[in-house]
Amino acid sequence: MKPAVTAMPMVSAPDAPLDVAAVHAAHGDFVWATLQRMGAREADLEDRFQEVFLVAHRQAAGFEGRSRVTTWLYAICLKVMASHRRHPWVRRERVTEEVPEARAESAEGPDARLERRQAQARLREVLDAMELDRRALFVMAVIEEIPADEIAAITGVPLGTVYSRVHAAKKDFDAAAKRVARRHDNGGER
């Protein structure tokens, strides 16, 4: 599986203070993908994206180039997403997300489509139950199959730590999947 959004130039910080527009030009796709890895909702994606660059703009002067720009942006994404996760209105907003149109000429039948959508909803529920950082690691490592050394570069942690964290993230995913399955078996009680 080739990742859809992984092409991210790993440029080091320039000597001059970072210009957020230049950061956006170089790493906008990375931020966009990272927010999705961390579970940003479709309806919120642009807002979270702008928040990340607003924070980056505010903190650009303090960026000393000791880490990669992507590592710095990854940390900002984590903070922005953490500040929005678990807010009481998040669930409420979820029900108003725009639903894509049904594909008229889809090769799959309605039953298969429904099954796929239900499976995706359950997968999302499982991922939502994970810690943000582990969720992002899990998506990168398992779903996108990004090489561990690249994940290490993105997150700014040593390679060995990436392996151990991904291992832990897989255990979390398994446990969350079991919890969600039990909940559904019990009629959806939380």
Partner 1 sequence: MSLDDDLSPESMELLRHAERPRARTEAERRRTAASVARIASAPVAAGAAWLSWKGAALAAALLTAGAVTVTAARRDPASAPRPARAPDVVALARPPHPPPVYGPVADTPRAVPMVAPAPRAAAPDARRPSPRRPVASREVVAPAAPPVAAGPAQSVGAVVAPVARPREDVLRALERARALLADDPAESLRVVDALPRGDLDEERELIAVDALRRLSRDAAMRARGTAFLERFPRSLYAERVRRWL
Give, as ranges, the residues between 88 and 107 that touch partner 1 (CB under 8 A). 88-89, 91-102
Rule CB under 8 A: is residue 110 a binding residue for partner 1? Answer: yes
Residue 29 or 131: the one with the smaller Cβ distance to partner 1 is 29
How far is Cα 130 from Cα 125, in angstroms, rounded to an integer?
A: 9
CA distance 101 to 83: 31
The sign of the torsion formed by the CA atoms of 173, 69, 80, 48 equals negative
Cα–Cα distance for residue pair 178/57, rounded to 1 Å: 41
- Contact in structure between 73 and 23 (CB atoms under 8 Å): yes
Site for partner 1 in 7-66 (CB under 8 A): 19-21, 24, 28-29, 32-34, 36-37, 46-47, 49-51, 53-55, 57-58, 60-61
Decide if residue 108 touches partner 1 (CB under 8 A): no
Residue 148 binds partner 1 (CB under 8 A): yes
Query: Least distance to partner 1 from the beta carbon of 148, Å?
Result: 5
152 contacts partner 1 (rule: CB under 8 A): no
